[in-house]
Structure 1
Amino acid sequence: MKICRFNNDRVGIVDGDGVIDVTDLFDRQQAWPVPPGDTIIRQIDGLKDKLRAALASDQARTPLSSVRLESPVANPSKIVGAPINYKAHIEEANADSEISHGHVYTSLDQYGLFLKANTSLIGVADEVEIRFADRRTDHEVELAVVIGREARMVTKEEALDYVLGYAVGLDMTVRGKEFPTFRKSVDTYCVLGPWIITTDEVADPNALELTLTVNGKARQGSNTSKLIFNVQRLIEYASSFYTLYPGDVIMTGTPDGVGPVEPGDVMDAEVEGVAKIQVRVAPGYATADRS
């Protein structure tokens, strides 16, 4: 099942080239204080039978080409990143002073994970807005994991039981000396989408090809089989430090081939069996919105 968010917070199921609107199946009246995590994602597990029935019904489909696809998760409690989770990217980072800035990267367990601000999150219909004209902003394609239920101190053997599904992620990054949490949290610097494909449709998240091109030219290409910490180990590692809530996103890390983008560029990314996305870089640099 492919679950999307579209056209100003409607919830849909993608069926071929159409979208079934299933918004009314969900309770969208939140109590206060709002429980951690995404209220829609939290309900999906209990609604799977009704969602499957909607998919099998003759309910009207809206053409996928006519809808605006937003981030399939609206309110994650956290977006978790894995900074150096492919060996070839570690080698690339250590060889490029604009990436390493004096650091010598060794292994993920020496550096830990980082968090991206929720305000960086956008969908594939949005544009990445480069914030600084005088600093390098790089693309990083990743498999994104969406948590479906609360996970605290889980083992890698049970980790996938807590996953709702997967999406394509772009972890946009400003290069510099600051901590990754700061440099990777710029507005629009976390792209997620176009939908969440549920775990039953992905046999092995650790055996997926992923690619990225910029303006049609190949930049990144690898396979999640080369992850240093695979999906299960990342969930175990993250949940050993903090509780993961429904809708939390784990960006599993990017392979080598990262590089700069400029205003007006077009990025095409694919994670095998998950989705293909096209994301545009805004034609101008970000400006203050004083409206």
Structure 2
Amino acid sequence: MKHARVIYEGREHTGTAHEFGGLPDAAVRLDDGRVVFQDLLTWLPPLAPTPRPRTILALGLNYADHAKELEFKAPEEPLVFVKGEGTLTGHRQATRRPRGVQFMHYECELVIVVGRTAKKVRRDDAYDFIGGYTVANDYAIRDYLENWYRPNLRVKNRDTCTPIGPWLVDAKDVADPMALALRTTVNGKVTQSGNTRDMIFDAPFLIEYFSSFMTLSPGDLILTGTPDGVVDCQPGDVVVTEIEGIGALVNTIAAA
């Protein structure tokens, strides 16, 4: 099932994807039973009110083609940074491009949502600890980048720099999260394509790796990196980051 969190008529609601006109995700059935078209809603990150993510972990250079694009050797162990919840914004919202920057790009990423407390989990059991999946667009500004291996705060922890959603898809409804096509379009033109099978460190590995030295809690997020094909985005651009079976996340670039 695909879950959403939205605002409608001044009130926050949870809901689920609803078919209309042959389109499976055209509307949302709200928790009070009403069915509302997507464009009448204000979308929030599709995270349950509780538990909120205690930890947001993000992978750098987790696709070999992206590492090559940036002229880096593929990492031998995960390159990880931590993000704050204030970075998250919803589907159909805007992300600001600071004045004067030269290169701001999207990053289409599969997000793992932890489903239950995970500590010292074995790889073979990892999927039992995943509650669901969603899509993130983890924008980066290269002007602020000092170190690709450990992005500084201005690169990855700016307010609303990470649209996420529109749906949180139950893990049981994703047959193979490691075989999903990813695609990004800018103003309708395809600029990035890839597949989660090309991750260097896949979902089971990441659950095992992180839980070996820290406790993962329900609602925690793991952003799993992006393939190659990033391009500069300008104010007014409409960026759609889409993952097969998970959803199409729409975001607009606004001037600061």
Q: TM-score range by the shorter chain?
A: 0.7 to 0.9
1:60 match? 34
After superposition, what is the alpha-carbon deviation per residue over 1:62-105, rounded to whole angstroms, capped at 9, x for unaligned?
Answer: 333322221112631121111011111110011xxxxxxxxx44
Match of 1:19 in 2: 28
Query: Which of 199, 207, 219 is the aligned partner of 1:247?
Result: 219
Structure 2 residue runs without a partner (length 5+) = 20-25
Alignment-derived partner of residue 112 in structure 1: 79
Gaps of 5+ in 1: 24-58, 95-103, 286-291
Q: Is the 8 A contact 1:128 1:281 kept in 2?
A: yes
- Return the alpha-carbon distance in structure 2 between the equivalents of residues 279 and 67 of structure 1: 14
Match of 2:22 in 1: none
1:198 is displaced (CA, Å) by 0.6
Task: State the Cα RMSD in Å.
Answer: 1.8
How far 1:11 moved relative to its partner? 1.2
Q: Secondary structure at the match of 2:123?
A: coil
CA distance in 2, matches of 1:108, 1:275: 30
Count of residues in correspondence between the two structures: 239
The structure that is strand-richer by fraction is 2
**2:110 corresponds to which of 133, 137, 143:** 143
- Measured in 2, the distance between the counterparts of 1:106 and 1:200 equals 31
1:214-266 per-position Cα deviation (integer Å, ceiling 9, x unaligned): 12222110110111111111121122232111111111110001121111111
Contact 2:64 2:74 in 1 (8 A): no
Structure ID, larger Rg: 1
Q: Report matched runs for 1:1-291 at 5 Å.
A: 1-7=1-7, 8-16=11-19, 17-22=26-31, 59-73=33-47, 75-94=52-71, 104-109=72-77, 112-175=79-142, 176-178=145-147, 179-182=150-153, 183-282=155-254, 284-285=255-256
Q: CA deviation at 1:181?
A: 4.8
The separation in 2 between residues aligned to 1:124 and 1:108, in whole angstroms, is: 34
- Does the 8 Å CA contact 2:139/2:156 hold for their aligned counterparts? yes
How high is the sequence identity, in percent, across the aligned residues? 35
1:37 corresponds to: none
Offset at residue 173 of structure 1 (A): 0.8
TM-fit CA distance, 1:194: 0.1
